[in-house]
Structure 1
Amino acid sequence: MTPQELKDLAHLRRARDLIDREYAEPLDVPTMAQKALMSTAHFSRRFRATYGETPYSYLMTRRIERAMALLRAGMSVTDACMAVGCTSVGSFSSRFTEIVGQTPSAYRSHEHPAVKAMPTCMAKSHTRPVRKASSRIEEAAMEAAT
């Protein structure tokens, strides 16, 4: 890894830490890019290449992850939505369903006894949502591999 790539990685980590720390605040890609000391376009490309998803996608995944914990604790869908920094319950619900595979209301209504029995650090790791690549991307990857 070149010295410049190491510097870029350190700057990207600062931006990712900003997202992890201030996920409930109104964050946009230009603000994240500024934290990484990069132009918006360069930041978006490098972030995706490094972490496998766009900065906004990463932000929304972190928000959904935090919302999952709030919903397990019994918070209402609307309150969880607002608590994690989303402003539209409809958009939040759509993104939640896309990432988790069920609606926020359905997720909230299920029992989560295994998660409650785990230490918080383990529960966070085991319940972290994993964004699945769209079928179009998977098809392109399969086609490129052949």
Structure 2
Amino acid sequence: MSVPNLPKIYLYRRIVYAKLFIDNNYADKIDLDNIADEAFFSKYHFIRLFNSVYNKTPHQYLSSVRIEKAKQLLSTDMLAANVCYAVGFESVTSFTGLFKRMVGQTPAAYQAAQHQRQAAIADAPLKFIPNCFAEKKGWVVSH
């Protein structure tokens, strides 16, 4: 039995569907097998196709989604350990190490910096508005 040549758009849609699966299920315990199954590809073929479309492996993409979601949660008062589990990591140590590699600081340091930034915005909100925008609106920005 031969496999027909499928249009590229069909393959692309399946890859996009797998990406959306990651976006919607990042906090769950998902792995390469789950993601490849969603796209109906063998995992090795899927890795190649996904990488060719997004310039990241599915695992790298899943990690980046989790870290971005963690950054959002760390902007709140949620404890870093709780953030770790909320975004799908099973180990605080591995979460902290990956976060530091990807963001450049530990989750706790990132959270402290976000709280300082939020306080500064509350203190002087006009300092955080681009001058060109403020001038266009007729606002006076004091530096």
Using the alignment, how far apart are the partners of 1:43 and 1:53 within structure 2? 12
- How do residues 24-103 of structure 1 correspond to structure 2 at under 5 angstroms? 24-103=27-106
Q: 5+ residue gaps in structure 1?
A: 118-146
Shift of 1:74: 1.6
On the 8 A contact 1:77/1:105 being kept in 2, the answer is: yes
**How much does 1:3 deviate?**
5.5
Shift of 1:4: 2.4
Opposite residue 36 of structure 1, the aligned amino acid is A
Instruction: Indicate yes or no: 2:3 matched with 1:8.
Output: no
> What is the identity percentage for the equivalent residue pairs of Structure 1 and Structure 2?
36
Q: 1:23 corresponds to which residue? A: 26
The alignment partner of 2:18 has SS state of helix
The structure with the largest alpha-carbon Rg is: 2
Q: RMSD of aligned C-alpha atoms?
A: 2.0
Aligned residues: 116
Corresponding residue for 2:117? 112
**Unmatched runs of 5 consecutive residues or more in structure 2:** 126-143
Distance (whole Å) between structure 2 residues aligned to residue 115 and residue 102 of structure 1: 21
Partner SS for 2:7:
helix
Contact 1:24 1:63 in 2 (8 A): yes
Contact kept, 8 Å, 1:29 with 1:56, in 2: the verdict is yes
TM-score (normalizing by structure 1): 0.74
